[in-house]
Amino acid sequence: MPKILSVLLLLLMGALSMSIHAAEARTLVSGLNYPWDIEAYGDDFYITEKSGNLGVIHEGQLTRMPVVTSVPILDSKGGGLLGMALFPNFSETQRVALYQHYGSEGQRRNRVIEVVRDGNQWRETRVLLDNIPGHPLYNGGRVAFGPDGMLYISTGWTENRSRPQDLKSLAGKILRIKPDGSIPADNPFPDSPVWSLGHRNPQGIAWDNSGQLFNAEHGQSGHDEVNRVQAGANYGWPLIQGDNQREGMQRPLAHSGYSTWAPSGLAYDGKHLVVAALRSQGILLIDPDTGKTVKSVSLGERIRDLLVKEGVIYAITTNRSPRYDGDSDDRLIRVSID
């Protein structure tokens, strides 16, 4: 059988074996401007917008608050104000960690900063990690506090084939630092924030109830991945992808084969890994033990990030793409899956 027919047959078999489930999406807030990250505290939602706002949704009303930084946010293509993590003592301190794209279109960088709420704005109080290589598209960008109280950061490969495998580079990695920006003594590489390497463009981070870390990342020409992340492990990019094997490198828990999910946000609902999918415009539920896709939910919109709160999925849409501009009315939605 010709190779192209074999590939098409595999794709068809995969599509037939994956159950597509209907879902109801109820709009809670509309009029969002390229939202990138959603978090919740109590009954309120916090949402970053790529242009430089950190908004608060209280009783269904959005209040946009600008983020004041020591160097300007570069809102360009896939860069801007990206990931967010509320500090564990947020109720007392109103502190938030943010992933910021900065520099110029010819010299892009990323950094992680701490901000504090100051009236109707957020003000930078310190830099936690700086000089993360930047790119028009591949910046990673997710930040999240783990069950160990440490801050985990995902970074993109910046289309440089050497960086993901280079322990001296912060690109193409999952990083781990203390809340004050210092390096934990139990990190796998001495005096380094690197937790794992060989990633392409990871944009999702989540933990299961046992404290196991997972990530979701964009592949190239398909081969999007969900990985079970271990300290010091190498996930192979750009040397292997999909079912390829190489000594000392980890294969993914799940991957999309020749199709594309374009996974972004990642959450855990107590039973499944819940993946926000941009390209396939929906949500995937993946078994964290087997890697099997249990449900594929079509929503007809690009889903950028999501969270699970009291068993309910809340998601934000990003119906623009860093590859093209244009107007969109993005939303915060509540998703009910059959």
**Residue where the block lists tokens 């007392």:** 92
For residue 223, the Cα-to-chain-centroid distance in whole angstroms is 16
| Strand duo 330-337 + 312-317: pairing | antiparallel
Dist. CA 147–CA 335, nearest whole Å: 26
Decide if 177 contacts 153 (C-beta within 8 A): yes
Number of domains, the chain: 1
Identity at 306, one-letter amino acid code: L
On whether residue 199 sits in a domain, the answer given is: yes
Tokens of 295: 């449900």
Tokens of 261: 């999910």
Q: Residue 251 falls within a domain, yes or no? A: yes
Sheet order of strands, 225-229 included: 201-207, 213-218, 225-229, 254-255
Name all contacts of 4-7 with Cβ < 8 Å and 24+ positions apart.
Answer: 7/258
Q: Is the residue at 291 inside a domain?
A: no
The CA angle 169-173-178, to the nearest 5 degrees, is 95
Q: Residue 182: which CATH number?
A: 2.120.10.30
Domain boundaries, position 196: 34-261
Element at 13 (helix H, strand E): helix 3-17
The pLDDT of residue 1:
43
Residue 273 included in any domain: no
pTM of the model: 0.94
Give me the DSSP letters along 242-311.
Answer: TT---TT-PPPSEE-TTS---EEEEEE-SSSEEEEETTTTEEEEE-TTT--EEEEEE-SS-EEEEEEETT
| pLDDT digits (tens), the chain, 338 positions | 444 444 343 344 344 334 566 688 999 999 999 999 999 999 999 999 999 999 999 999 999 999 999 999 999 999 999 999 999 999 999 999 999 999 999 999 999 999 999 999 999 999 999 999 999 999 999 999 999 999 999 999 999 999 999 999 999 999 999 999 999 999 999 999 999 999 999 999 999 999 999 999 999 989 999 999 999 999 999 999 999 999 999 999 999 999 999 999 999 999 999 999 999 999 999 999 999 999 999 999 999 999 999 999 999 999 988 876 556 689 999 999 87
DSSP 211-233: --EEEEEE-SSS--EEEEE-TT-
In a domain, 58, yes or no: yes
What was the pLDDT predicted at 287? 98
Q: How many Å apart are CA 245 and CA 248, to the nearest integer?
A: 9
User: Could you give phi then psi for residue 53, rounded to 5 degrees?
Assistant: -105, 145
Does residue 338 belong to any structural domain of this protein? no
The per-residue pLDDT for 308 is 98
* Cα 160 to Cα 172: distance, rounded to the nearest angstrom: 9
Q: Which residues contact 171 (CB under 8 A, 6 or more apart)?
A: 132, 133, 155, 156, 157, 158, 160, 163, 164
Q: Judge residue 120's burial from the number of C-beta atoms within 10 Å of its C-beta, 0-12 exposed, 13-18 middle, 19 or more buried.
A: exposed
Residue 228 makes CB contacts below 8 A (sequence gap 6+) with 212, 213, 214, 253, 288
Respond yes or no on whether the N-terminal peptide bond of residue 238 is cis (omega within 30° of 0): yes
Asked if the structure places residue 332 within a domain, the reply is no
Domain assignment of residue 129, yes or no: yes
